[in-house]
Amino acid sequence: MKKSDIKFQIELDEKSLPKAITWDASDKEGEGLESTKSISLNIWDNLNQSTLRIDLWTEDMSVVEMKRFYIDILGGMGQTILNSTGDEYMSEEIKDLCDRLVRHVNEENSKI
């Protein structure tokens, strides 16, 4: 059986806030740690039948990048729902929400 490892390293400042985030995965292209500004990890807790979340970002991640990051995450969830369950309605609702959020962010950015 094949195994894959995913590793995150978080460098914290004196207030325990993320200063730098790096990651590596045994199946990714290229070798060595790569830098990122944000991670969002969701884990299904079988025992409590709920989702555990870890959301971390560095201070160099802009508000616009953060909004785009979460729109991309939602869009990916919509595609995963379609691929894993075949639920076209739920997938389309998520896609429609993402489209509205993209318009919102674009309108905000045009005013800057």
Provide φ and ψ at 42, rounded to 5°: -120, 130
Instruction: Provide the terminal-to-terminal Cα distance of the chain, rounded to the nearest Å.
Output: 52
pTM for the whole thing? 0.86
User: Can you give the pLDDT at residue 75?
Assistant: 98
Q: Give the CA dihedral 37, 102, 81, 36, nearest 10 degrees.
A: -10
pLDDT in tens, 3-58: 999 999 999 999 999 999 999 999 998 889 999 999 999 999 999 999 999 999 99
Q: Which CA distances in Å does 8 have to 34, 64, 71?
A: 10, 24, 22
CA distance 98 to 38: 19
